[in-house]
Amino acid sequence: MKRAVEHRIGIQAPAELVWELISDFSTWEQWNPVHPRAEGQLKIGTSLSVHQALPGEPVRVIQPVVQDWVPYEQLHWRSTRLGGFVTAIRYIEIENMGPSSSTFSNGELFMGMLVRWISRDDRRKLKAAYTQMGEALRDHAEALWSARQNSPTSA
């Protein structure tokens, strides 16, 4: 059995700029309300330290493992829940839609023996958080893209 939570949003900024924000963990605190802090290397099999701030819950530090990453396209990490009986794959993906637009998807896929214990309320809370993250990334990326387009050095 599997369960999933996802949010997708269009961004009026190139995929390269969106990847720049995603791949630079040191900037996450500037735009990311769900993961205000992340540390580690983008290297398959490497552990990350990620602060997770879900609505109505205290911030907690998770230590997922990088499952996969492709520059300018995706970052996936894996963690476990419920004593290891549920595997969670957190994904952040970017689709290039043209020279100045992209689509951003972020979500989580749950698999395992106790996946039914990932409640509807938990999934709703995650959906709201991932929506908030997508909108914050969109707003930050579009503002940065606009500023770069209007800077004297862009001509």
Only one residue has tokens 């309300």, namely: 33
Give the pLDDT mean for 53-79: 95
CATH superfamily of 2-149: START domain (3.30.530.20)
The answer, yes or no, to whether residue 112 has pLDDT greater than 60, is yes
Q: Is 101 helix (H, G, I), strand (E, B) or coil?
A: strand
The more confident residue out of 81 and 15 is 15
**Rounded distance between C-alpha atoms, residue 90 and residue 82, angstroms:** 16
**Rounded distance between C-alpha atoms, residue 145 and residue 2, angstroms:** 37
pTM of the predicted model over 0.85: yes
Q: What is the percent of the chain with per-residue pLDDT over 70, rounded to a whole number?
A: 98
CA dihedral 28, 29, 32, 38 (to 10 degrees): 50
Residue ranges of the domains in the chain? 2-149
Query: What pLDDT, on a 0 to 100 scale, did the predictor assign at position 154?
Result: 55
In Å, the largest CA–CA distance within the chain is 57
Query: What pLDDT, on a 0 to 100 scale, did the predictor assign at position 95?
Result: 98
